[in-house]
Chain A
Amino acid sequence: MPQRTPLYDVHVRAGARMVEFAGWEMPVQYEGILAEHAAVRERVGLFDVSHMGEVVFRGGRALEALQRLFTNDLARCADGQAQYGCLCREGGGIVDDVVVYRRSGEDLLVCVNAGNRQKDYDWLQGHASGAQVANESDLFAQLALQGPRAAELLQKLTSLRLPSIGTYRFTQGEVAGVESLVARTGYTGEDGFELFAASERAPGLWAALLEEGRALGIAPCGLGARDSLRLEMAYRLYGSDMDDESTPLEAGLAWVVKLDKGEFVGREALVRQKSAGLSRKLVGFVLTEPGIPRHGYAVLQDGKPVGTVTSGTKSPSLGTSIGLAYVPPALAAEGSTFAVDIRGRAVAAKVVKTPFYARKK
C-alpha cells in the first residue's frame, strides 16, 4: 500500500494524474509536463514534495555527529544556512544525497529522499555518536515554490523580508498564517523556495499559494516536470544516477566532498579512490542524432557496451535530447563522443558541459 502525503486528496480532487513513486502515491502531472515545466521556467510552479523525509539532529553533540556522517563541511555552514552533500558508507557508496539545514549547532534538519526515509534514519541513528536523532518525516509537509516569480508571490503572503534570504539560506516565519521553515532552495535551477510546515497545515498553505499565484500564472506541478527540470540542471537523482554502489566522486559530486575537513564515514575509501583513479564517471551528454536516451540504456564505444545511461529525456527548454551516463574516464572529457544503444540502434552522443540549461538573467 503506497503512502500518501497530506495533500493527496487535494491532488485527486484537482484532477492530477497520480502514480506510484518510491513507495508514494504522487501527482506525476496536472495539466501536462511540458506546460508545467514552462510555467516554472517562465513564471512560477508549486510542487508537493512532502514525500521527502526530515531527520533532525539535536543536542550538544548534534553538529559533531552529523559532521562525521556528511561529506560536505558543516563548519563552513552558518546557522540559517543550508548545505548539500552525501551520506556515505565506509566503502564510499552513497547512502543518500541530502540537504542539511543548520538551525544551530545543536539543531540540524536533514532533508532526505522519499525512498530512503527509513534507510537514512536507521543509518543516522546507528551512527549518532551521542546526538539525539529523530525521524520527523511524518510531521512535515514540504512545498516547493519555484520560478522567476516565486519571490514576488511569496512576499505577498509573508511579512518575512525575502530579499534578505539568500540562496541556500533559510529562516522561520509565517506564510499565509502557517508557521514554516522558509528556505531559498530547490531542485529546478530557478529561484524559489521550499517551505516546511506542519502536515495538517499543508492543504491551507497549498490553497493560499495557488490562490495568490493565480494572477502570476502559477501552475501546480507534478513529479514529471520536477524530473525534467532537475535533469536540465544535471542535478542527480538518487536511485537513478547514484545508489549505494556508486561514490560521490564517480557521481560527479566531488565538489561536496571535503576530504580535508577531518574524519567522516567513507573518507578513507574516497581518499583511496581518488588516488587510485576512477573507473567510471557520471557525465552529461546530448544526442547528436534523433532519439531519446533513457535510464538503463547502454553506452557503446566501437559497438561494445562500456557504460550506462542513468537519466535521459528530451529537454523541454532546449529541444535537444539530454542525459547523464556513467562512462569510462577516457570518454568523460567535454567533447568526447560515444553512442547510446536505443532499441538496437547506435545513436551518436557527445559529452557536454553541465548544467544543460542556464537560468535566464
Chain B
Amino acid sequence: MNFPDDLKYTKDHEWCRLKGQRAVVGITDHAQDQLGDIVYVELPEVGDLVKKGEAFGVVESTKAVSELFSPVTGKVVEVNDPLSDAPETINEDPYEEGWMIQVELADPGELQALLDAGGYRKFLEEEVE
C-alpha cells in the first residue's frame, strides 16, 4: 500500500498536502481499500468552513456510509467536483485525481500535529493488532 512521504495523515485515514497557504485533502490508500468500491461522495461547497476533526462530507461504498473528517481548519476554496460523477476515481487514484477539497488554512501550525507517512504506517500496524 502506498503512503507518499510528502503528505500528512490523520488517524481517521485522511491525508493532507500543503500547497502554499492551502491544504489539499483526500482519503488514504488504506481508507479506499477498506471502503471498497466508492459509489457516492458528498462534499462541502466552496466558501464553507471546515474544522479540524469535524465531518466535512461522506463517502459511500456499495455497502456502507463513512464520514470524512477534516485534518485542518479553514475555508474551502476548491472542491473536486468531477468526483460526484466519477467517485471511483477515489479508489483508482486516492492521492492525485481523487483529492476532495482544498482548504485555506486558518492555522498552518495545525499540520504539525498530523502524522507523517512513517507515523501513519505505524498507526495502521498497531490498529491491526
Contact = CB atoms under 8 A, between A and B. Distances in A.
Interface of A: 17, 28-29, 32-34, 37, 224, 227-228, 290-292, 294, 313-314, 316, 343
Question: Which 7 pairs, one residue from A and one from B, show the smallest C-beta to C-beta distance?
Answer: A33-B62, A34-B37, A314-B39, A292-B60, A292-B40, A32-B37, A33-B37
B121 to A, nearest CB: 20
Contacts of B60: 292, 314
Interface residues of B, number: 12
B80 interface: no
Contacts of B124: none
A29 B36 contact: yes
Interface string B72-97: 00000000000010000000000000
A28 B63 CA distance: 10
Given A224-B36, A292-B40, A314-B40, A34 B84 contact: no
A294 B62 contact: no
A33 B63 contact: yes
B62 A224 contact: yes
B65 interface: yes
11 contacts: A34-B62, A228-B62, A290-B40, A290-B84, A291-B42, A292-B40, A314-B39, A314-B40, A314-B60, A314-B62, A343-B58
Contact of B65 (A17, A29, A292): A292
B62 A316 contact: yes
Contacts of B36: 17, 29, 32-33, 224
Contacts of B62: 33-34, 37, 224, 228, 313-314, 316
Among A28, A228, A290, A292, chain B packs the most CB atoms within 10 A around the CB of: A292
A227 B58 CA distance: 22
Contacts of A37: 62
A317 B121 CA distance: 36
Contacts of A29: 36
* Interface SS of chain B: strand
Given A29-B36, A314-B62, A343-B58, 10 more contacts: A28-B63, A32-B37, A34-B62, A228-B62, A290-B40, A290-B84, A294-B65, A313-B63, A314-B39, A316-B62
Nearest to A345: B42
A27 B13 CA distance: 24
* Interface SS of chain A: mixed
A291 B63 CA distance: 13
Nearest to A319: B39
Contacts of A292: 39-40, 60, 65
A331 B63 CA distance: 27
Contacts of A294: 65
A37 B61 CA distance: 14
B15 to A, nearest CB: 22
Nearest to A225: B62
B1 to A, nearest CB: 14
A343 B39 CA distance: 17
Contacts of A28: 63
Nearest to B41: A290
B9 to A, nearest CB: 22
A294 B65 CA distance: 9
Interface string B44-60: 00000000000000101
A290 B36 CA distance: 20
B60 to A, nearest CB: 5
Contacts of B84: 290
Contacts of A316: 39, 62
A34 to B, nearest CB: 4
A313 B64 CA distance: 9
